[in-house]
Amino acid sequence: MNLEHLTERLHRIRDTNNWKQFHSPKNLAMAASVEMAELVEIFQWLSEDQSRQLPADKLAHAGQEVGDIVLYLLLLCSELGLDMNEVVRAKLADSERRFAHE
C-alpha cells in the first residue's frame, strides 16, 4: 500500500469538493473518532465468538469503516506534517521494546 499515492488521491477528492477548509487537525481527529464509533457499533452486543465470525454483510461494513478511519488518519497526518509510515514504525518499535518477551 503506497500511502503517499493514497494521500495524493485523497487530496484530489478534497480539493475537487472544496473540503480543505474543513480539514483542520481537530476536525479530522473528530471525524476519525466518529468512524471508529461506527466500527464499534457493528460489534456492540456481540459475544467474543460472534465478533470473530461476522456474517458477510457485517464484515463488509466493518471493512468500510476501517477504510474510513485509515483515510481520515492519512489526512490528519498530512495536515500535521507527519509521515504515517514513520509514526507507525516508531510506535511498533516502541511496543516491541516495551512488550516483546523472549
Q: pLDDT tens for residues 20-31? A: 999 999 999 999
Question: Cβ neighbours of residue 23 under 8 Å, at least 6 residues apart?
Answer: 14, 75, 79
Note the CATH number of domain 3-99: 1.10.287.1080
- The predicted pLDDT at position 8 comes to 98
* pLDDT average, residue stretch 4-14: 97
- The predicted pLDDT at position 70 comes to 98
Please state the pTM of the whole predicted model. 0.93
- The predicted pLDDT at position 57 comes to 98
